[in-house]
Structure 1
Amino acid sequence: MKIVTKCEDRLALRGVGRVGFYNGSDHTPEDIPFPSCLAAALRFIGEGYSWTTFTEKGKTWHRNDLYIELLGASGMAFGLRWKDGWYQDAADMMFVADPTEIIRRSFAHMGYGFRSVDKSGSPGDEARFVNEIRQSLKSGKPILSFGVVGPPECGLITGYDEGGGVLIGWSYFQDLPPFNSGVEHESDGTYRKRNWFPDTWSLIVIEDKVDRPEPVDRNAEILRWAVSVARNPADRRGGGTQHTGLAAYDAWAKQVTNDADFLTDDERVFRSRHEIHNSAVSIVAECRWAASELLKMIAESESKTVPDLLAAADRFRREHDLMWQAWGLVGGNGNPRAHEVFVDPEIRKELASVILKARDLDAEAIGIIEKLCC
């Protein structure tokens, strides 16, 4: 439901769906910020996509079909990235391909225009950002933001106060220290952030609807882009030496088995390196599960290619299952002492083996898709 609270210096859109890391709910995870934020914004402005309810292993789940579709349209459902070294952004999904292309394809798939708002370095930047935010919210559209609270991941701006001196919205990091330092909350749980401009990298304004491709064309473009994302071996954006697509699995496995990276007694190092590895495990688990679900959704309307689509979906689902094996090797998903197990070189060798098996399944799935569309 749209509820707008408004006065001269304040405007807040109420009813924009919350985004955030998985918290144990009955909603399937949406841990990739950009497609989740875009899905929440589009639902708010009227895109009536379904939620699919299903039961698996005794638990009833609710799947956000718009999020699944946007993971596919963006290429993220089929992508992977590894940045050489142990960087917190090693597996950043906004860099599985050209970020501008990821964004462009997502909006084109949904039939919407968009406009990026970036800093120019001029003294008027903050006033320009405030104006863009105010105008978009007055038109009833949330703003996608990179930064505001925490690192430059995607979030949602759903309101402002004090004329723009305070921003209101949803962030994946609004309740996570140290990123939530100075963050207050509205009654509905949205964050309130003062002095937000230094922590804000860029904005995306949702513009008017444009011609949307027919479903068959949208599906075909998803499949073609999936192959391109997987086959792209390297990308130089974001600094450092990066590997994308199938090549990222090899770089990840090589990094995990580099014993020289573990010649220290500093637990903080072990913990950090395990967190970076675990982020990649989580991404592959979620994204390949989503790829499997998406291909099954496409198969419902593509009768001639059902066997091949389901065969590729099966590979992606098995790849997802391998990530649970990876978690099992360190004591299970969420084990607070997993970083201690991760230090063991034999465990890391086993993890590398699982990673390479996942690569092989990914290659099989992409090979099937490639024969269908390319």
Structure 2
Amino acid sequence: MDYFIEICAIITFIEQRIKQRLDFTELEKTLNFSYRHIIGIFKIRTNMSLSHYIMIRKIANCALEIVSTPKSLTTIAFEYGFDNYDTFTRAFKRETGIRPSEFKKFGLVCGRKHICLGVYAPAILNLDQESVLLNLSEADFMSKTFETQDSCILYGVPKVHYGRNVDGGWQGTPFPMCLQAVLDYMGQNVHYSYIMAASGASFRLRWNVNGWDLSAVDIRNIYEKPLMPFELAFKAVGRKFKILNKDSNSYSKKDFINLIKSEIDEGRPVITLGVVGPPEASIITGYKDNCETVLGWSLFQDNMEFSNNVTFDESGYFICNNWWENTEAVMSIGEEICVMSSMKELLENAYYLLTTDAIRVEECGTYLGGQKAYSAWASAMTEDLNFSKQTQLSLLIEHIMCFGDAATMVGEGRSYAAGYINWIGETNPEVSKECRNCAGYLNAVADCVTKMSNILGGFGGEDAVQKFADKEIRMQIVSLIKLAQRNEAKACDELKTLISKI
């Protein structure tokens, strides 16, 4: 077992009770593990003791209160369970490098950061590089290349992270984010909505025929051929490319290293699947020790459940020396510009994704799509046995993660799909009416997801999980899923008309 869900449950449990003296008996009941087993798996997965992690979270929460409330330092210390002010001061300095009384004077910034899947929590965002907590903000480091005989690092590649906002909207799909960031570094400005549409990510909804499945959101499950989203996206932005896929058994670690080194040496970052966290897209921006160690950006590099064996460069790049074991593919993006996909090709592909009821993905099984995926999603929400009061927190978290994945596919996807189709209407007046109608229905679909999020208060955290388990609330959400389904059917009718006129 990799205990990924269990680590998320532990982090969620702690964050909800950070001001309390934790009842570890309650934690044992929540996870159905002994405390000894809990602290063991936490240490293995995060490379940090559970007690030290709890202290770090207390300090981060205290720091946010110091800069955002008028409370005295003594009051804050006692609220977070410190026996006296001196104990608080020593702990604060040990974790941050400075005393609480000095914290405001340094002009330090606190906010919320993604600390595990679905959980955004207080964090100190701009501590000095020499302190224990590194600066992992999105600030650009230096646009330069560091090169030695066995190392090459490309600085200045834009950071990717959930919630990234480059084109005026929330971004949440790793591969389009990574491709946009790499192209930006290489001097090609491509709108995120175009990459979302070209890859198919804007038009997907996948639900496993066997039920709740955390891998349903994987971009490789959009088409029957897992690599197709990447191939379509590279073609759409006019780039030659090369993909080495570990699943094919045709490529060795040496092949991966040769491709990474040759691309980085030429000044081109590469996109990978994996390296840090789940097999989602990340960016390799450099290598050391002849590529035994790689650096880059991952959307999961700040997540505690994936922090084992990851350190950080002063630029914020992750540093990973066991990357091969957790990397499934590497993709180069060539310099040469070739013929780009036509608008009609992209729209026909969109219609296929929105209307195909099921696909069988190589080596993964069958996923429902289109209208059937909506029906299966709604049906799963009505299964009371999966949401009883006796259901373990870890299982509820797994279900709300699956729900959040489906909501993201639809909410983010249809929002950017509407943006892309509106752009078509603005640049092609002869089909502006059809585009406006289609985009209107797609925006209505996305609006249903916004309402779901408002009902739950987000798709992460223990409060949202408990609401998710409430049958009355789930029935409200089911109504919104069915409304989104109806609006999407109308969008498909308009899309079909639009395609016929292009």
Q: Give the structure-2-normalised TM-score.
A: 0.67
Identify unmatched segments of 5+ residues in structure 1.
Answer: 50-65
State yes or no: 1:253 paired with 2:378. Answer: yes
* 2:147 counterpart SS class: strand
The answer to whether the aligner puts 1:219 opposite 2:360 as a matched pair is: no
Secondary structure of the 1:313 match is helix
1:18 equivalent to 2:159? Answer yes
**How many Å apart are 1:122 and its aligned residue?**
7.1
Q: Which moved more, 1:180-189 or 1:27-36?
A: 27-36
What's the counterpart of residue 285 of structure 1?
411
Higher relative contact order (CA 8 A, sep 6+): 1
User: How far does residue 162 in structure 1 lie from its aligned partner after superposition?
Assistant: 1.2
Paired residue secondary structure (2:304):
coil
Q: Is the 8 A contact 1:285 1:320 kept in 2?
A: yes
Deviations 1:216-248 (CA, angstroms, capped at 9, x unpaired): x63222211110111221122252441123321
CA RMSD of superposed structures (Å)? 2.2
Which of 142, 153, 157 is equivalent to 2:284?
157
Counterpart in the other structure of 2:396: 270
Contact residue 401 and residue 459 of structure 2 kept, 8 A:
no
User: Where does structure 2 lack aligned partners over 5 or more consecutive residues?
Assistant: 1-141
Query: 1:3 corresponds to which letter in structure 2?
Result: K
Q: CA deviation at 1:93?
A: 3.2
Moved more, 356-365 or 113-122: 113-122
Q: Offset at 1:369?
A: 0.9
Separation in 2 of the partners of 1:69 and 1:24? 15
The residue number in structure 2 matching 1:338 is 464
1:65-80 alignment, distance < 5 Å: 66-80=191-205
Match for residue 242 of structure 1? Answer: 367
Match in the other structure for 2:182:
41
The match for 1:231 among 355, 360, 366 is 355
1:317-357 per-residue CA deviation (whole Å, 9 max, x = no partner) reads: 11111112112232456564111111122222221121111
Percent identity between matched residues is 28
**2:271 counterpart (134, 137, 144):** 144
Give runs of aligned pairs for residues 353-372 of structure 1, distance below 5 A.
353-372=479-498
1:95 and 2:221 correspond:
yes
> Which runs of structure 2 are paired with 1:321-336 in the superposition (5 Å)?
321-332=447-458, 336=462
1:183/1:79 Cα in 2 relative to 1: closer, same or farther (>3 Å)? Answer: same
**Residues in 1 aligned to 2:438 and 2:165: alpha-carbon distance in whole angstroms:** 29
Supply the AA of the counterpart residue of 1:142. Answer: P
Answering whether residue 459 of structure 2 is matched by residue 347 of structure 1, we say: no
Q: Do structure 1's residue 182 and structure 2's residue 182 form an aligned pair? A: no
**C-alpha separation between the residues in 2 aligned to 1:235 and 1:122?**
24
Provide closer, same or farther for how the CA distance between residues 164 and 234 of structure 1 changes in structure 2, counting only shifts above 3 A: same
Q: CA deviation at 1:256?
A: 1.2
**Equivalent position amino acid for 1:373 in 2:** I
Larger radius of gyration: 2
1:221 & 1:239 partners in 2: Cα distance?
A: 27
Q: Counterpart of 2:144?
A: 3
DSSP-derived class of the 1:89 partner: coil
Instruction: Quickly say closer, same or farther: Cα 1:313–1:258, change in 2 above 3 A.
Output: same
Q: For residues 274 and 8 of structure 1, do their structure 2 counterparts lie closer, same or farther at Cα, with a shift above 3 Å needed?
A: same
| CA drift at 1:15 | 1.2
